[in-house]
Amino acid sequence: MVSQGGYGIKTVIDTNILYAGLNSNRGASYQVLKAIMKKRVQPVMSVALLFEYEDVLKRNSRQLGLSYSDTDDLLDAMCSLCSLHKIHYLWRPFLSDPKDDHVLELAVASGAKSITTFNVKDFSGADKFGIRLLSPMALLEEIKWEL
């Protein structure tokens, strides 16, 4: 499953994966971030998801050891590697946690076939839109990433 433009799998990276990858360099989430930098995974992004990333990372900047400037630089780099999409339709509420609806909407609008997340139960029903839910490890297995 390889997308166009030399990138690997196109997926929505849920905020919890970005946070976990920045919080520890020992887990699968960190390896997902490395795979993004090496263009083996192409994250899809919307303005709403970018703002969510920024909010969570800046709110937890001390724990992550990042300054606000570091966070801005990181998000700039992430944006340069992502595929930006507008969401043209809204069917809210659909998920059990309405705060996650924009993530599902982004996956559908972008044509991504998956959402990479730890919170699989929060996206119950995503399969009705042809969206698979992947853990970071499952994503790495799909791209045959060596840990």
Show me where the domains of the chain are located: 9-142
- In this structure, the chain runs to a length of 147
- The structure's pTM equals 0.90
| CATH H-level, domain 9-142: superfamily | 5'-nuclease (3.40.50.1010)
- Provide φ and ψ at 67, rounded to 5°: -80, 170
> For 25-45, b where at least 16 C-beta lie within 10 A, e where not — what string?
eeebbbbbbebbeeebbbbbb
Q: What is the pLDDT of residues 65-121, one digit of tens each?
A: 999 999 999 999 999 999 999 887 666 677 777 788 899 999 999 999 999 999 998
Name the DSSP class of 25: S
Question: Quick one: pLDDT at residue 147?
Answer: 62
pLDDT band for 3, please (50, 70, 90 cuts).
Answer: very low
